């Protein structure tokens, strides 16, 4: 089943490092498929955005890119909270972090992460990673979100 669609892909990047945000934005901007990236620098803020807890309607992206090393609520705590919310549990979450620690990898998958990616260090590597994500998640896979 193809996930190809005419609407832009909505990506939530949960990341607090400005350099990584810049690299990710540049990489996704270079794709042939249209995408929008919303950046939230903390897991607690991202969870509030997804659930609409601050009196706002919930924002449901097509895909979440999640760093593990975050202030207040780290990435693993965020994954645990998302998994506990039935409306959010089906969202694709790709962990994108510097950690290569096997316990982080296992914990992420135990908490239903869909993939565990180590952050690239060069802009060309970020571009390659963004293209690989787009090819699989945006062009091939069917995403659980819909745009009405």
Confidence band (pLDDT; 50, 70, 90) for 18? very high
Against a cut of 0.75, is the pTM above it? yes
Distance between CA 78 and CA 48 in Å, rounded? 11
Place of tokens 């810049």: 22
The CATH superfamily label for domain 9-138 reads Response regulator (3.40.50.2300)
Domain boundaries, the chain: 9-138
Nearest to 93 by CA among 66, 124, 54: 66
Residues linked to residue 9 through DSSP beta bridges, in sequence order: 35
What digits encode the pLDDT tens for the residues 37-65? 999 999 999 999 999 976 889 999 999 99
Asked which of 33-37, 51-55, 79-83, 124-128 is least confident by mean pLDDT, the reply is 51-55
What are residue 117's phi and psi, to 5 degrees?
A: -120, 135
């Amino acid at each position: 089943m193809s996930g190809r669609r005419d609407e832009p892909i909505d990506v939530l990047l949960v990341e607090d490092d400005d350099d990584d945000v810049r690299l990710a934005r540049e990489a996704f901007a270079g794709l042939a498929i249209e995408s929008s990236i919303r950046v939230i620098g903390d897991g607690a803020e991202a969870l509030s955005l997804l659930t609409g807890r601050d009196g706002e309607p919930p924002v449901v992206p097509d895909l979440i890119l999640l760093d593990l090393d975050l202030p207040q609520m780290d990435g693993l705590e965020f994954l645990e909270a998302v998994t506990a919310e039935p409306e959010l549990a089906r969202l694709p979450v790709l962990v994108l972090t510097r950690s290569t620690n096997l316990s982080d990898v296992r914990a992420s998958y135990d908490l239903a992460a869909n993939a565990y990616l180590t952050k690239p260090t060069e802009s060309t590597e970020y571009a390659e990673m963004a293209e690989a994500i787009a090819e699989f998640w945006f062009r091939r896979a069917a995403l659980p979100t819909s745009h009405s």
